[in-house]
Amino acid sequence: MSFAWTIVAMVIVLAIAWRFLGAYMVSVYERRTSWLSFLERPIYRVIGVDPEAEQSWQRYGASVIVFSGVILLIGYLLLRLQGHLPLNPQHLPGVSPALSWNTIVSFVTNTNWQSYSGETTMSYLSQMGTLALQNFLSASVGIAVAVTLIRGLSRKGSKTIGNFWVDLVRGTLYILLPIAFIFAIVFMAQGAIQTLSARRISTTC
C-alpha cells in the first residue's frame, strides 16, 4: 500500500472511530470506566495519592511541573549512564551531555526531536526507558492538561479541576496502553518484532 493510501486509510479509520473513542475517553476521565481498577488502585497506593481528592489549578499545574521535572532528570541520567547499565549488548557508551539533554527535553515535551540513529546511539534500556516510555507519559500528560482545561471552562465557580495523578494514571492505563497493545499485535503479525539480542551487522552486499 502506498503512503498516500495509508494516509487515506488512517483518516477513514479515525472518521469512523472518533465518536466511539471520544465517548470512551469522556467516560475514562469522568471515572465512569473502571475495568482496570485492579491495576489502578495499587498504583495510587504506591505513589501515595488519594484518588478522591481533587486539586486546585495551582496544585494541578505544580504537579505537572514536578512530574515532568523528575522524569526529565531520570531520563537524562539514564542516557548519560547507559554505558554502565544493563540491556546494552552493543556496549554503547553514555550519550553526550548536550544530546542527552536535547533528547530527553524533546521527548518530555512530546516534540520527539532526534538527531541520531537510535540503534547506534541508544542502548535497549535507553530506548525503552526514555524514548518509548515518554511516548506514553508525555502523551498522557498532554491529554490530561487538555482535559483539565475543558474542566476549567465548564466548572464555573469551582475551586478544583480534577487530580493530575488520577488523570495521568487513567489516561495511560485506559487509553494509551490498550491502543498500543492492539497495534503491537498488528505489528507483530507483520514481522516487526524487537529482541534484546545484540544487533547483527550483515557483511554481504
CA distances from 29 to 93, 137, 151 (A): 42, 16, 10
Q: Is the pLDDT of residue 136 over 60?
A: yes
Q: Provide the pLDDT for residue 40.
A: 94
**pLDDT tens for each residue of 178-195:** 988 988 888 888 777 777
Q: Provide the pLDDT for residue 200.
A: 61
**Which band of pLDDT confidence, cut at 50, 70 and 90, is reported for residue 4?**
confident
**pLDDT tens for each residue of 9-47:** 878 887 887 788 888 999 999 999 999 999 999 999 999
Are 40 and 60 in contact, with CB atoms under 8 Å apart?
Answer: no
Q: Is the pLDDT of residue 157 over 70?
A: yes
Give the span between the Cα atoms of 130 and 107, in whole angstroms: 8
CA distances from 40 to 25, 50, 129, 186 (A): 16, 12, 21, 26
